[in-house]
Structure 1
Amino acid sequence: MFGRQVAHITRAFTSKASTTTTLHRAILSRASSTSSSISSSPLSSEVNSFNPKQEGGSVSRIARLLEWSDHLARASSSRNRGPDGKPRRIPPDQLKPLPTTRRVQDSYVQLDLKFSEDPVLRESYLGGLSKQPRMGRLMEDFDSVAGAAAYRFVLPDGVTVAEAESYGLYLVTAAVDRMDVLKPLTELHDGSVPDLRLSGHVSYASESSLEVFVRLSTIPKTPEEASATILIGRFAMACRKYSGGKQPIAQLVVVGEQEEELVKMGKDMRENKKKRRAMSLETTPPSAAEAKMLHDLFVGKQEIFARNASCPDDVVFMADTALKSATLNHPTDANVHNKIFGGYLMRLAYETAFATACLFSRSTVHFIALDEIRFALPVEIGSLLLLDSKVTYSPIRGTHKSFHVSVEAATTDLFTGERRVTNTFHFTFASDRPLARHVLPKTYLDAISWLDAQRRREEGIAVRKAYDSEEV
């Protein structure tokens, strides 16, 4: 059910026949218009600062000066900061009132990465194993795009991210509900990297929280060429007061059938997310079918699980796939709230998961999906970030290429030794060739992780099947 609904809303970005695509095109058209609010807003100038057409200069010049994600997330532009380095505050008598109503297109933002025009920018995004842009770097950018769209929705027109403190409010990324690759990101036939556009807009808003849809697509070279959607995702944002508690935000005004459909899908997905959490294996025992599956697994493969038994070449225990990393968190990676930037954490977790996936499959892998990241606790500056990655599921029977990798993020206080789990990342990868071995749990806790990863992988397959994508 959830997969079909996610598929339905994704088609809003991809199908020419979709009514919601009409809405998206209308938003896109408004965004590119010289009279649009996006080009005239100071916040928008931050969002589009990597667009050479709007900047009037080379992308590489800007790229060398500052990182896009840090620029937007921390709003560190000198024009928005005082001599003490702190964000400038708007005098109370000059504060514009917060908007009480907003429409979808009021929140639209986009970031163009024109690799064909700038070799320095292209070099900063390319990975070490291929000529494709690093997905972890793009995830970092997506967090910034989602944050920019959310701030555009919440703040008055003309107010920058750095000036949000004057209103006593801030936005946090509460969760990344899903990211799904609809079309693999590959090189063009001539070996070049396609120009990419990251875009996002608010699709649902409640009293103090909102959801932002993000999209990665190619930039057409000619007016006749169609844009290809590569990936879509959904971020959950929460608005809070500096004094504590929830900050009320503008009401999302729906006009027309297209917008009604979009908002309804957002509500449905929100309800499905609640149902999934209620059925989570963290709080609920496995179903009867899952319990039988585990029973058959451990009883049917007793020779593998016996003490001192040797593992066949096509089996690897979950614990033996583990890969760990440690990173000391510095102020350069902080957001406007003086905590470690969420997009930066996503990149580190993805790159650790990618390395784990390559070691397990013993081949090149590509990213398929990300399933629900909840940022439960903030990561403090000066703490030690520990990432514990392992392959948590791969099919036992048949020929398959896809498998699941989970990454647990925890922080440790260097002086007290206190350890806190901040969140868990769930990734699905696909190998370039069929897997030669499969992963098995050895303990009950590993078995629960194995079942949870199986659920997530199957849900992702249902989503991709709904788009007539090839099952991997």
Structure 2
Amino acid sequence: MLGTLRLEEPPILKEATLDEAGWCLPFSYEVGEHRRGGRGLLIKYKARNLTLSKPQIATDSYLELIFPFSSNSTLREQYQRFTSNHMRFGLLLEDLDTLAGDIAARHAGVSERVLLTASIDRISWIQDRHVAGEVTLANNLRMAGQVVWAGRSSMEVMIELSHQAPGADPNQWNFIGLAFFVLVARTPDRTAAAEVPLLVPETSREMELFEQGKVHMQQRQQRRDAHWARRPPTGEEVALVHDLIRQHHLHRIGNYHYHHHHHHPQQHGETVPMSRTVLQNCCLMHSQDRNVFDVIFGGHLLRLAYEHAFSTAALHAGEYCDPLSMDDVAFLMPGCVVRVHVRATKVEPGAPEQSVVTNVFSFAFRCPSGPVRRVVPDTMVEAMEYLMGRRQNANDEASQAVLAAQAVARL
């Protein structure tokens, strides 16, 4: 992840005035006004030709959003987790999602098309102080991004995260993270795909990022094909589940009291049924959570899913856990991992007995104090979900970094 290509900051950026904030950030400004009011953020953008029907230069969509945490105590308190100095990571995910929409809007516009977040390809959050310094709310935070690839009706937006210590050179930012969002364009009635302007890379770096976007598209298809609904378990995976359930059954017959285990920390080596870790919640959507298209914005659902997964992991581990990854989203930190799957469902008005799955989120966390209890599937569907989590873990850079750190620690 550290070797990933970086953006080239345009040589001349303009600082947006308060009057310009609305059209410069159509998603972030709308959501911010509805939910948190003015936050004192600094906005920088590249002045550009407003003709959106022609091919667009890559840097024309460039945007910067700066959070002055070091000097704005009110802003710092908004992003602070209660009774701790840790950041409310769910709010940061909201901001990343809305900024990705703002960047896509600068490339494609919003007057003739509806822009929707299709997927979050990857986010890397580096919290290794030896690499990037300690990430805290005492430092300013910058999100900077642009469209790096565009197809017929979809775009890949790359956002870099950097921080800056108080009193440091205002032009010196330390890279700490990376995000890739995929947005799609639909017709105003949302019945068909809408075309987006072509993207014209000008520099060799922009060409590399464009080619990287093509690779990401192929990788997304490969991950979809690897889902358990399409790809059956291998013989090795079937044997793994069989052995796991057999060991759990033998342990239960011996000294394991099945009915007493529900969200309580136990000694390492014990197992608990997956169904016993379930935490459910029902959330009402409100007008304050809508975006410029008058629908609930994806970042809000992302925050709800993350905070729900955070609570589930904490109850299972018996302590607060640190975020490690979300599906393809990686937060590089050493430690032990517990992976949590969260599903959000939509209930249709007038038919409360019917529900439709609208989003599936997959998160991973590390338990600071060490290993946690293993979970054991009870049903075939749970077994497939267990194997899917195992496959994700094998392809997750953050999880593999954790395993490597554990192996070194045991030497």
| TM-score normalised by L of structure 1 | 0.71
1:338-353 mapped onto 2 (5 Å cutoff): 338-353=294-309
Aligned residues of 1:203 and 1:212 also touching (Cα < 8 A): yes
The CA distance in 2 between the partners of 1:297 and 1:438, in whole Å, is 9
The CA distance in 2 between the partners of 1:407 and 1:190, in whole Å, is 27
Equivalent in the alignment of 1:233? 179
Task: Please give the per-residue CA displacement for 1:107-148, whole angstroms capped at 9, x wherever unaligned.
Answer: 111211111111111111101152122100000000111001
Equivalent in the alignment of 2:150? 205
Post-superposition offset of 1:401: 1.2
Aligned residues of 2:245 and 2:377 also touching (Cα < 8 A): no
Mean CA deviation greater in 287-296 or 132-141: 287-296
1:16-415 mapped onto 2 (5 Å cutoff): 20-21=5-6, 24=7, 26-27=8-9, 29-30=10-11, 33=12, 36=13, 39=16, 42=20, 46-47=24-25, 65-66=37-38, 97-155=51-109, 164-165=110-111, 168-183=112-127, 193-220=138-165, 221-223=167-169, 227-243=173-189, 244-304=191-251, 310-311=257-258, 313=266, 314-371=270-327, 401-413=336-348, 415=350
Counterpart secondary structure, 1:193: coil
Post-superposition offset of 1:68: 9.2
Mean CA deviation greater in 402-411 or 184-193: 184-193
Post-superposition offset of 1:369: 1.2
Identity rate, percent:
26
Post-superposition offset of 1:471: 6.2
> Where in structure 2 are there 5+ consecutive unaligned residues?
44-49
Post-superposition offset of 1:329: 1.3
Quickly say closer, same or farther: Cα 1:428–1:64, change in 2 above 3 A: closer
Quickly say closer, same or farther: Cα 1:295–1:436, change in 2 above 3 A: closer
Whichever residue aligns with residue 369 of structure 2, its letter is R
Mean CA deviation greater in 401-410 or 37-46: 37-46
Task: Please give the per-residue CA displacement for 1:56-89, whole angstroms capped at 9, x wherever unaligned.
Answer: xxxx9999634799xx9xxxxxxxxxxxxxxxxx
The CA distance in 1 between the partners of 2:28 and 2:218, in whole Å, is 37
Aligned residues of 1:44 and 1:109 also touching (Cα < 8 A): no
Quickly say closer, same or farther: Cα 1:451–1:268, change in 2 above 3 A: same
Counterpart secondary structure, 2:169: coil
Post-superposition offset of 1:274: 0.6
Whichever residue aligns with residue 267 of structure 1, its letter is K
Whichever residue aligns with residue 348 of structure 1, its letter is L
Q: Which has the higher helix share?
A: 1
Whichever residue aligns with residue 235 of structure 2, its letter is A
Whichever residue aligns with residue 246 of structure 2, its letter is V
Task: Please give the per-residue CA displacement for 1:233-260, whole angstroms capped at 9, x wherever unaligned.
Answer: 2111001111442221111112232222
Equivalent in the alignment of 2:395? 459
Whichever residue aligns with residue 11 of structure 1, its letter is G
Post-superposition offset of 1:229: 2.6
Equivalent in the alignment of 2:377? 441
Post-superposition offset of 1:213: 1.2
Mean CA deviation greater in 228-237 or 41-50: 41-50
Aligned residues of 1:202 and 1:210 also touching (Cα < 8 A): yes
Aligned residues of 1:50 and 1:62 also touching (Cα < 8 A): no
Counterpart secondary structure, 1:130: coil
Quickly say closer, same or farther: Cα 1:267–1:64, change in 2 above 3 A: closer
> Where in structure 1 are there 5+ consecutive unaligned residues?
1-6, 13-19, 52-59, 73-95, 156-163, 374-398
The CA distance in 1 between the partners of 2:136 and 2:196, in whole Å, is 46
Out of 425, 438, 449, the position equivalent to 2:361 is 425
CA RMSD of aligned residues (A): 3.8
Aligned residues of 1:194 and 1:219 also touching (Cα < 8 A): yes
Whichever residue aligns with residue 119 of structure 1, its letter is S
Post-superposition offset of 1:100: 1.9
Mean CA deviation greater in 233-242 or 214-223: 214-223
Task: Please give the per-residue CA displacement for 1:38-68, whole angstroms capped at 9, x wherever unaligned.
Answer: 75994686449999xxxxxxxx999963479
Counterpart secondary structure, 1:212: strand
Task: Please give the per-residue CA displacement for 1:15-51, whole angstroms capped at 9, x wherever unaligned.
Answer: xxxxx43xx2x32x43xx3xx4675994686449999
